Structure 1
Amino acid sequence: MAESSTKDRLLAATLTVVAEQGIAKASARTIAAEAGVNQALVFYHFGSIDDLLVAACEHGARQRVEANREAIAEVASLPELVTVARRLHETERAAGHVALLGQLLAGAPSHGPLAAAVATGLGLWIAEVESVLGRLLADTAIADLVDVTGLARAVAASFVGLELYDGVDAAGASSALTALEQLAGLAAVLADLGPLEARAVRRHLRRASTTTAR
């Protein structure tokens, strides 16, 4: 068996075990059994279970981002971005990736460097969203009022929260996504304002921002 093939099988097996059995069950024995290899290969290739979890987390995040990059890149409006997010939510949940994310977030505090790996994985999603938002908001009436990086993080955090919330209240999560679609529609209207209206809106928002800062 080629070394790369063995490593890939262990990475895939780790993600499967965490998603289906929980991070507490992610032992060398369980993962090796899922991969169909000797458990000594876990330590040969990755050194420790925590290092394997880190590698699997980053590997899985790259896979999911690459699988969805084209759909995200083709987004042509803010409402469409939320529509794509809703579709991704449904497909990711059906594939077990929502359960996986929940386990990784739950296990991160007790598995050393896993927290940084989860943050890195989420950072890959944030970078994709930031690229889209930057493109959609460029040269619009509200371009200079929006912290695109901060907004991308807020979108990603909202999506993560809705992914987890869906497990206990699917109807509530769906309602929240609908509300986000409405907000995106409102933002799209503001972005398309003419010069005079845009200046008035910017003045109002700046005053509101100053008041809030106090």
Structure 2
Amino acid sequence: MAAHAILASASPPAVRARRHRPNEAGDRMRTRIVDAALQALRRDGYAGVSVRAIAATGAFSPALVFYHFGSVDALLLAVLDQISGEQLARYQARLGDVSSLAALAAAMEELYGEDLELGQLTAVQEIVGAMAFDPALGPEIVSRMQPWMTFAEALAQRIVAGSPLAGRLDPGVIGSAVIALYMGLEIVARMRGGDTSGSKALVATLTETAPWIDGLLGKGVAASRRRSTKRLVLE
């Protein structure tokens, strides 16, 4: 081991740099495998996904799945990482400054429509539904949900801030409920054979009623008008 360390330290800098250079070809192959797994998951569902199906979808050797990921479940977790990372970044960009239900509802109506077009909600449901209750894989799902929980909790804190509910409701509970509701919309749509009209109607209803709820919370246009009227009366 000492001799190996000496030889390594004596190697020219260019040689050492080549040894630690990222394997771009390997990264491209991993991306290709993840994309193929996502396509197969959308098409066949978790129960129908296999190494052979993924390899056939991506037109590569089945052995590459094991070489780069070790197992199908590890590959599907990588798929979940990709989807979740991209989706969370998109949500953070659109909802990062939201502090009222009206603004949240309007943004969510757009985001939900985009999610349906991207077709990734089904893939997430397949992975989470299959792995969440597995003793070994369940903790992997929980750890990947934590960034979403943190994001939803911060969003809930901003929504109730300055309202009579501030300090009375646990933002963590609200955040968890919002995530459960959102994932539940996809489950209901799938139970209806892919019909998303009910889910879209629910989101639209939230958009319509959000300004009224904001008024009850002391936020929004209605609340501002009441505060202005009160000031005028006092003056």
TM-score normalised per structure 1: 0.77
How far apart, CA to CA, are the structure 2 residues paired with 1:121 and 1:137? Answer: 26
How far apart, CA to CA, are the structure 1 residues paired with 2:126 and 2:92? Answer: 24
SS in 1 for 2:163: coil
Q: How does 1:20-169 map to 2 (within 5 A)?
A: 20-108=43-131, 113-167=136-190, 168=192, 169=195
Letter in 1 for 2:76: L
Deviation at 1:15, TM superposition (A): 1.6
Deviation at 1:115, TM superposition (A): 3.6
How far apart, CA to CA, are the structure 1 residues paired with 2:76 and 2:135? Answer: 10
CA-to-partner distance for each residue in 1:115-155, whole Å, 9 max, x for gaps?
44443443333322222222232333321112101101101
SS in 2 for 1:144: coil
8 Å CA contact retained: 1:71, 1:84:
yes
8 Å CA contact retained: 1:23, 1:103:
yes
Deviation at 1:159, TM superposition (A): 0.7
Provide closer, same or farther for how the CA distance between residues 31 and 96 of structure 1 changes in structure 2, counting only shifts above 3 A: same
How far apart, CA to CA, are the structure 2 residues paired with 1:110 and 1:132? Answer: 28
The runs of 5 or more residues in structure 1 that have no matched partner are 195-214
CA-to-partner distance for each residue in 1:38-88, whole Å, 9 max, x for gaps?
211111111111221222212221121123320121324112212222222
How far apart, CA to CA, are the structure 2 residues paired with 1:88 and 1:58? Answer: 19
CA-to-partner distance for each residue in 1:162-197, whole Å, 9 max, x for gaps?
122233153322332244345644442232189xxx
Q: Which has the higher contact order (CA 8 A, sep 6+)?
A: 1
How many residues align? The count is 194
| Larger CA Rg, structure 1 vs 2 | 2
How far apart, CA to CA, are the structure 2 residues paired with 1:113 and 1:6? Answer: 27
Determine the structure 2 residue equivalent to 1:175: 201
How far apart, CA to CA, are the structure 2 residues paired with 1:26 and 1:96? Answer: 17
Provide closer, same or farther for how the CA distance between residues 114 and 186 of structure 1 changes in structure 2, counting only shifts above 3 A: farther
8 Å CA contact retained: 2:109, 2:207:
no
TM-score normalised per structure 2: 0.71
How far apart, CA to CA, are the structure 1 residues paired with 2:38 and 2:64? Answer: 17
Letter in 2 for 1:174: K
How far apart, CA to CA, are the structure 2 residues paired with 1:174 and 1:152? Answer: 20
Provide closer, same or farther for how the CA distance between residues 40 and 110 of structure 1 changes in structure 2, counting only shifts above 3 A: farther
Determine the structure 2 residue equivalent to 1:197: none
How far apart, CA to CA, are the structure 1 residues paired with 2:55 and 2:90? Answer: 26
Provide closer, same or farther for how the CA distance between residues 109 and 142 of structure 1 changes in structure 2, counting only shifts above 3 A: closer
SS in 2 for 1:22: helix
SS in 2 for 1:143: coil
